[in-house]
Copies of this chain bind each other. A is one copy, B any other.
Amino acid sequence: MVTSVDVAKLAKVSRATVSAVINRNRYVSKELEKRVLNAIKKLNYKPNAIARSLKTKYTKTIGLVIPNIGSPFFSFLVEGIESFSNKNGYNIILCNSDENSEKERDILDVLLGKSVDGLIMIPTGSKNKDYIFKNVIKSKKPIVFLDREINGIEADVVVSENIVGAYETTNFLFKNGYKNIAIITHSEDITPGKKRLEGYIKSLKENKIEIKEEYIKSGGFSSKEGYLNCEDIFRESKIKPDSIIVASSHLELIGVLNYLDDHNIKIPKDIGLIGFDDLPWVRYLNPPLTVNTVPMFEMGNKAAELVIDKIESKKHYNNKPNKISFKRKLIIRNSTNIIY
């Protein structure tokens, strides 16, 4: 391995001067600078980031803890995060928690041990609240929660307007004549799940529609769970739903599509369907899917901006945490009818 010692020797200067040339943090004469740069090129010298980090305490690395990179919504968020980070000289260490809080905790342990400069997290519920408070918040390690919050933890947050989103979506169905509206969301331990349910209920109440438990299914992310949740709704309800809002994951959406397909329930003839988040392909589903959506890339970008901001300037530490909430938008396609 070629080190700054080798460069210093070849350029006939001290290691301090080599360091000064690389980091441009103090005066070096043109003459010496040239000699150093030539030596660097000649030896193909690359500074060792590990050694540097040991001294400076900065790794130029952000830890990213998400439930699952295979889920397209998350992968778009990650795209935004990576893009902003890369532009600003940061790398990201990507870890999947698989919606498992023990694994999530192990991941945090490893990331903190690796001295990441900051963290972006899509937490899987709030089970690790105490751990995070003790090891992250208290030690002033910058962290941004993305898409989901943890109640009772004061930290930067980038989310979307879930209550309003679900409220408007439900209202839209009601205005088009739907009365038996079912919803499939995340479990309530996950803030978007809780809030989307809240918006849904708010709308039903305002529209004086009875709230039926058998229309509300929460929990699950996979296609299989989507299938089963949908099955449960149809099995448990005396009056079958005339519409379903799938407000959790796209995999669950696919499970629902699967169930409807298997049972020859046609969209929108037999049932109205609305999803969350406008992935590139949902407009090519059969029929094109109406969705309530949010700019995913931008959300990821913002999360990275916040965390880097915090890493690089300490002024924020005494401020109130930032809370960025992205507006949601309803994109109307053909998976619902006007049925009154």
Task: Name A residues whose Cβ lies closer than 8 Å to a Cβ of B.
Answer: 44, 46-51, 53-54, 59, 61, 64, 68-70, 72, 75-76, 78-79, 82-83, 86, 91-96, 107, 109-115, 135, 223, 250-251, 254, 257, 261, 280-282, 284-287, 297
Contact = CB atoms under 8 A, between A and B. Distances in A.
A51 B51 CA distance: 8
A251 to B, nearest CB: 6
Nearest to A64: B94
Given A75-B70, A86-B96, A94-B82, A113 B48 contact: yes
Copies of the chain in the assembly: 2
A78, A91, A95, A135: residue with the most chain B Cβ atoms closer than 10 Å: A91
Contacts of A96: 79, 82-83, 86
* Interface residues of A, dominant DSSP: helix
B284 A257 contact: yes
A257 B111 CA distance: 42
A114 B51 contact: no
A208 B250 CA distance: 44
B72 A69 contact: no
Given A72-B72, A223-B280, A280-B251, A92 B94 contact: yes
A112 B69 contact: no
Contact of A280 (B47, B69, B254, B280): B254
Contacts of A64: 94
Given A75-B75, A82-B95, 9 more contacts: A49-B110, A50-B114, A51-B54, A83-B96, A91-B94, A93-B94, A281-B281, A284-B285, A285-B285
A295 B68 CA distance: 18
A284 B250 CA distance: 12
A254 B69 contact: no
B82 A46 contact: no
Nearest to A111: B91
A279 to B, nearest CB: 8
Contact of A50 (B59, B91, B95, B281): B59
A69 B78 contact: yes
7 contacts: A48-B113, A50-B54, A69-B69, A94-B94, A223-B280, A254-B284, A281-B282
A93 B91 contact: yes
A281 B250 contact: yes
Contacts of A69: 69, 75, 78-79, 82
Contacts of A79: 68-70, 96
A50 B92 contact: no
The winner among A46, A47, A281 for most chain B CB atoms within 10 A is A281
Most buried by B among A46, A49, A76, A282: A49
Contacts of A110: 49, 91
